[in-house]
Amino acid sequence: MQRLLPHHRYVCTRHPVLDRPPDVGQPVVALEDPELHDLVRAQRRHLRLLRRYGTAAAFDAVLTGFLICGHLWDDWRQDWHEICQRWTRCSHYLIPVGCELTSFSANRLFAAVYAQAVELAQVIASPIWGSRARLGDLR
């Protein structure tokens, strides 16, 4: 059975699994590795963000958080070496090396950075930071 879920339902908070519908032919992803337990906490923060700022702001902020994480992961400078290594470990758990052709999905790749994307989204969605960004005052 396939379900369509709203953008803010990424991880099941009752069961440690990715709640996004798996791609066709893909099994549900269990988040058994301790490295992935912060995804459940991130889901709870994501839901609080949604209640606090609304659907549109939460969607835009989390999407922007994903984009920032993607750029950081791609650039991989010494400043964020530790977090990039963590994302790589998570992605290897979710998409095992050697099994990329059978287990790759965008949902699994996004899950590797989800916790940090939500952390960034909490700042991005804040009206104070939004107004400062529009004015170019990011001190």
SS (H, E, C) 21-34: CCCCCCCCCECCCH
Let me know if residue 4 belongs to a domain: no
CA–CA separation, 19 vs 31, rounded Å? 11
Let me know if residue 28 belongs to a domain: yes
As for how many domains the chain has, the answer is 1
Q: For the segment 81-124, what is each residue's pLDDT rounded down to a tens digit? A: 888 888 998 888 888 899 888 888 888 888 889 999 999 999 99
Let me know if residue 96 belongs to a domain: yes
Let me know if residue 80 belongs to a domain: yes
Residue 99: give the domain boundaries: 11-135
Let me know if residue 5 belongs to a domain: no
Q: For the segment 51-93, what is each residue's pLDDT rounded down to a tens digit? A: 999 988 899 999 999 999 999 998 877 778 888 888 998 888 8
Q: Which residue matches tokens 């909490």?
A: 122
pTM, entire model:
0.80
Let me know if residue 129 belongs to a domain: yes
Let me know if residue 121 belongs to a domain: yes
